[in-house]
Amino acid sequence: MTDYGRFSTEKVLEASKNIDKMSALEIAELINAQDKTVAYAVEKALPEVARGIDALAGVLKGGGRIFYCGAGTSGRLGVLDASECPPTYGVAPETVQGVLAGGREAAFESIEDAEDDEFSIVRQLKDAGFCAKDACVGISASGSAKCVQGALKYARGLGAATVAVSNNADSPLIELADISIIAVVGPEVISGSTRMKAGTSQKMILNMLSTGAMVRYGRTLGNLMAYMVPSNAKLAERALRMICAETGADRETAYAALKKNGDVIADAIRELKGAK
């Protein structure tokens, strides 16, 4: 049986023991003070984050896909990060996928027992045709989620790239992944509520992984979202501003180039720069 009490994310934070007697402002100040420590915990894991970025970029360059795998908050954060890659970087929806223990409905409703099913995520990976050229990013605050352990074992067994994101120094995921990103954030303000500091650290790390991988995959021009899909009024306006700023073209010329190039901002910029 797993000794959950040994995980730092399950321990009690002394500073919040009397939170039920605090004012609203005191509660907010306490949470804010704890949140300030998260970036420092992530900072200590930056070398591993960098390794993760290079590994995931390599998978994309090889025609593979990235699968974020988790349960509860960790899984939902993976779904969130994956869902934002197509509109931000113009990649296909299947390029980065979030897989939740319990399936898609677990994104909206808590299905806690799915975490204990070692094959809950594996079954979904099989349905998606997961293979050796893909990557599995397993996310679990304590590292004890059986579904995530099962996913990493399955991926590694196929020879796929494996990355673990966890929040305990002795996380069980460490021995299951090629690269382990461990941000030790310590006990939560509400004991065991890992949607808080642990979840915040995971969001920060996933931001780095996907952003870094996409940059190294060539899905930006400098720091511009030049492969962004201009699918609404705000994004269409942003696209025109990018083209005008990069090329010196007027809005009419920029719009014509954008449409000529199938709404691919990077191609419109290249065409207009080449025309000079």
Active site residues: 84, 115
- Identify how many contiguous H helices and E strands the chain contains and give both numbers: 10, 5
Three-state DSSP state, 163 = strand
Quick check: 60 and 90 in contact, CB under 8 A? Answer: no
CA 210-134-224 angle, 5° bins: 25
181 close to 165: Cβ distance less than 8 angstroms? yes
- The answer to whether the CB of 200 falls within 8 A of the CB of 97 is no
Taken in order 257, 258, 262, 268, is the CA torsion positive or negative?
positive
Distance CA 140, CA 116 (A): 12
